[in-house]
C-alpha cells in the first residue's frame, strides 16, 4: 500500500438547510474539495458517499451516482456506504484504500445528510434504523435512552459527577462559537447544561447533539499529486474500521464500546503511533457522556477519568489533549452521514494551522466516528507532512 494524502477539503455549514437535497449539499462540498486539491477530474477514479437515512427521510437513494453525475464525473465508480453514524468515516476509509492500493490516483470521499425537514418523531424513528429491531429496538430503546444508561453505568463505576459530564457540553458548545461551520455553539455554564430540558434522564437537552443538515468532502490522492494542491497536503497515517456487537446485550458492560477499542488498536498499529503521540482529537460526542467514554476507549484519557479531564480543562483547546476543538457534534450538529468526513475536515484545517479555533503545535490528529450502539466504528490518524 502506498502513502496517501488529503489534498482538498470542502464543507457546508452544519445546521439547517431544509430546502436543499442531500445530493446538492454533497455536490457543494465535493466541488470545493476538488477545486482546492487542484486535481484534474480525469484523475478521480472512485467516489464514496457516506449517508445513513436519505432513503427513509427523503425517498432518495443512489446518492453516489447522483453526485458523480452532478459534478461532471458520471462514469467514475460511485458507491454509497452505510454504517449508521459511522457512514462518513467508512466513506473516507474506502477512498483512502482506493488510492493506497493503486486502484486510482485520486478518490473523493463525501458525507451528506438531510434531516431538519422532518419532524423529531420521524427523525427518531429513522435513527432507530441503526438498532437491531428485534432486541434493542423492540425494547423501546432510543439513542438518548442508551446514553442515559451509559451515563448511569459510568457514574456508578467511576463516580462521574453531573458537573463533569456537563463540562463536556460547556467546552464543546464554547468551541463551536469560534467555528463558522457550527450552528449550535453557545456560551453556557455548568448549571445551564444541568438545568436544561430533560431528554432521557440523566441526559438534558444540552447533553445532546442536534438534528442537522450538512455535507463535507475530502479529496484523497498520492503524496506526489498532493504537492500540486493549493493547501498543505495532510498525510493519512491510518484509516481503520471495526464492527461490534449488534445489541447492547452483547456488550460486556456499558462503560466501553468494543468497536472503538478495536478500531483504535488497528489505527495505532497501522500508524506505528500510540495515544501519547496524538496532538488533538475529533471524536463522536453525540452526547456529552459519549465523549467521556470515547476518549477513554481511544486511550487518550485514562479509563474512568474522562469527566475529570473535561472539568479540569485538560481536553480544552489549550489543554494537554484537546478534544473537539471544532465544537464536535454537540456544537456542530450531527448530520449523520456527514459527521465522519466533517471530523476529517476539521483535523485537516488544524494540521494546516488554519483552524478558527487552532490547537497549538498540532502535528498529528485523530478522528473517531461511532455508529449505532457501537455496531460500527472508524478511527483515522492524520499527520502534517513535516511530522
Positive/negative CA dihedral, 199, 205, 209, 212: positive
Catalytic: which of 85, 209, 286, 377? 85
217, β-bridge pairs? 10, 110
CB of 240 to a copy of itself, least distance (A): 8
Cβ proximity to a copy of itself, 179 vs 262, nearer residue: 262
Is residue 74 within 8 Å of 80, Cβ to Cβ?
Answer: no
Nearest to 161, CA basis, from 311, 303, 298? 311
Cβ proximity to a copy of itself, 126 vs 364, nearer residue: 126
Catalytic: which of 17, 94, 334, 368? 334
Instruction: HSE, CB side, 13 Å, CA atoms: give it for residue 43.
Output: 17
CA distance 104 to 45: 5
Q: What angle do CA 160, 165, 169 make, to 5 degrees?
A: 170
CB of 135 to a copy of itself, least distance (A): 10
Query: Alpha helix (H) ranges present in 108-142?
Result: 120-127
Cβ proximity to a copy of itself, 23 vs 172, nearer residue: 23
CA distance 207 to 292: 12
Q: First vs last Cα of the chain: how many Å apart? A: 20
CB of 46 to a copy of itself, least distance (A): 9
Cβ proximity to a copy of itself, 331 vs 375, nearer residue: 375
CA distance 348 to 362: 10
CB of 372 to a copy of itself, least distance (A): 5
Helix (H, G, I), strand (E, B) or coil at 215: strand
Per the annotation, the verdict on 85 as an active-site residue is yes
CB of 36 to a copy of itself, least distance (A): 23
Chain residues binding a copy of itself by CB under 8 A are 1, 21, 47, 52-53, 55-56, 58-62, 64-66, 68-70, 73-84, 90, 93-94, 97-98, 100-103, 125-126, 128-130, 132-134, 241-247, 250, 258-259, 262, 371-372, 375-376
Give the residue numbers annotated as catalytic, written as ranges.
85, 334
Amino acid at each position: 500500500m502506498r502513502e496517501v494524502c488529503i489534498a482538498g477539503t470542502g464543507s457546508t455549514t452544519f445546521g439547517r438547510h431544509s430546502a436543499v437535497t442531500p445530493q446538492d449539499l454533497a455536490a457543494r462540498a465535493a466541488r470545493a474539495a476538488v477545486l482546492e486539491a487542484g486535481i484534474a477530474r480525469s484523475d478521480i477514479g472512485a467516489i464514496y458517499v457516506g449517508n445513513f437515512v436519505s432513503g427513509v427521510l427523503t425517498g432518495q437513494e443512489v446518492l453516489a451516482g447522483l453526485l458523480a453525475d452532478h459534478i461532471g464525473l458520471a462514469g467514475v465508480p460511485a458507491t454509497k456506504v452505510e454504517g449508521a453514524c459511522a457512514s462518513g468515516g467508512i466513506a473516507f476509509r474506502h477512498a483512502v484504500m482506493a488510492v493506497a492500493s493503486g486502484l486510482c490516483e485520486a478518490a473523493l470521499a463525501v458525507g451528506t445528510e438531510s434531516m431538519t425537514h422532518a419532524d423529531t418523531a420521524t427523525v427518531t424513528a429513522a435513527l432507530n434504523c441503526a438498532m437491531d429491531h428485534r432486541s434493542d429496538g423492540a425494547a423501546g430503546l432510543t439513542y438518548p435512552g442508551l446514553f442515559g444508561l451509559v451515563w448511569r453505568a459510568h457514574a456508578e463505576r467511576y463516580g462521574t459527577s453531573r458537573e463533569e459530564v456537563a463540562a463536556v457540553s460547556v467546552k464543546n458548545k464554547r468551541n463551536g462559537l469560534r467555528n463558522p461551520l457550527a450552528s449550535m455553539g453557545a456560551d453556557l455554564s455548568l448549571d445551564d447544561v444541568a438545568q436544561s430540558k430533560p431528554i432521557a434522564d440523566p441526559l438534558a437537552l444540552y447533553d445532546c447533539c442536534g438534528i442537522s443538515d450538512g455535507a463535507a468532502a475530502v479529496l484523497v490522492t498520492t503524496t506526489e499529486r498532493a504537492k500540486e494542491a493549493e493547501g498543505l497536503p495532510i498525510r493519512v497515517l491510518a484509516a481503520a474500521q471495526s464492527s461490534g456487537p449488534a445489541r447492547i446485550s452483547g456488550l460486556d458492560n456499558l462503560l466501553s464500546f468494543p468497536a472503538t477499542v478495536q478500531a483504535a488498536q488497528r489505527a495505532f498499529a497501522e500508524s506505528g503511533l500510540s495515544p501519547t503521540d496524538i496532538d488533538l482529537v475529533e471524536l463522536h460526542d453525540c452526547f456529552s457522556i459519549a465523549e467521556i467514554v470515547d476518549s477513554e476507549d481511544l486511550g487518550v484519557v485514562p479509563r474512568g477519568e474522562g469527566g475529570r479531564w473535561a472539568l479540569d480543562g485538560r481536553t480544552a483547546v489549550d489543554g494537554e489533549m484537546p478534544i473537539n476543538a471544532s465544537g464536535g457534534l454537540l456544537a456542530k450538529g450531527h448530520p449523520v452521514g456527514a459527521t465522519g468526513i466533517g471530523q476529517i475536515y476539521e483535523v485537516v484545517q488544524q494540521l494546516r494551522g488554519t483552524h478558527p479555533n487552532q490547537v497549538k503545535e498540532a502535528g498529528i490528529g485523530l478522528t473517531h466516528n461511532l455508529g449505532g450502539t457501537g455496531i460500527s466504528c472508524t478511527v483515522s490518524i492524520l499527520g502534517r507532512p513535516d511530522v
